[in-house]
Amino acid sequence: MNTRSAIKRIVVIAIVLAIGAYLVSEHLKKKAKERAEEDEAQKIEQAIRSSVDQMVLRFNAVNDWARKLLQGEEVRVQKIFTVELERLWFGQNPILFIGTIKDVSTIDEQFYQMRIERDLFHNMNQVLFADIGLEIKCSKQMFDSFFAKHPQLTAGLILNDGVAVVAKIDRIKTEFSTGQEGEKKEMRIGVGNCLDVVYIGNVQF
C-alpha cells in the first residue's frame, strides 16, 4: 500500500468515526431531552394531582361518587337515574367533578354560569357512558383570574382542556337531545354553585 492510499484510508476512517461519534452524540442528546421532558411532565402531573387533592381536603368534597355509581364494575354502560345522583350529590358536602368546560355565560355583574360536562378522556379510571354535566354559578373575580392563568382553555384544544371543580349541587335536571343517528339522548345536569376550580390539562383521573 502506497503512502497516498494509506492517507486516503485514514481520512475515510476518520470521517466515518466522526460521523459515528456525531450520530451517537445526537442520539444521547435526544434521549436526554426526552427524559427531561418526561421528568417535567411527571412533575406537572404531580403538582396538578396535589392541587386537586388539596382542594378536595379544603372543602371536604365527595370525590368517590363516580366509583359508587360503577357498583363494583370497571365500566358502566347502563342508564343512570336522577335518584342515584341525588343520593350521592345532595348533602352537606360539595362534590368533585372532572370534565371539560363547554360554555361560560354571564348571570349578572358578579357571577358567571359555567357549563362543564364529564368526558371519558379525563375519567379513564371511572368510566361511565351516561352523559353527566354541571351548570354552576361561579364568581366572576375567581373565574376571570382562572382564565387569565390558563388561556389555553379557549384555544379550541380537544384533549388539553380538563378542569376539576368543587361544587355544591342543589338540584338535578334532565336535558333531552337527538344523536347523530336520530336516537334520543339524556343528560343529567347538576345545578348549583362553584366553590373552586383547578386546571388539570390532559391529566387523567
165: which residues sit within 8 A by CB, 6+ positions away? Answer: 96, 97, 98, 114, 116, 134, 136, 194, 195, 196, 197, 198
* Residue corresponding to grid cell 466515518: 16
Tell me the percentage of the chain whose pLDDT exceeds 90.
67
Please name which of 196, 203, 176, 195 lies closest in space to residue 187, comparing C-alpha atoms. Answer: 176
pLDDT bucket at 162, cuts 50 / 70 / 90: very high
pLDDT score for 118: 96
pLDDT bucket at 155, cuts 50 / 70 / 90: low
The mean per-residue pLDDT over the stretch 173-181 comes to: 86
pLDDT score for 102: 93
Q: Where are the domains of the chain?
A: 1-59, 62-201
Specify whether domain 62-201 bears CATH 2.40.50.
yes
pLDDT score for 157: 52
pLDDT score for 197: 97
Residue scoring higher pLDDT (197 or 154): 197
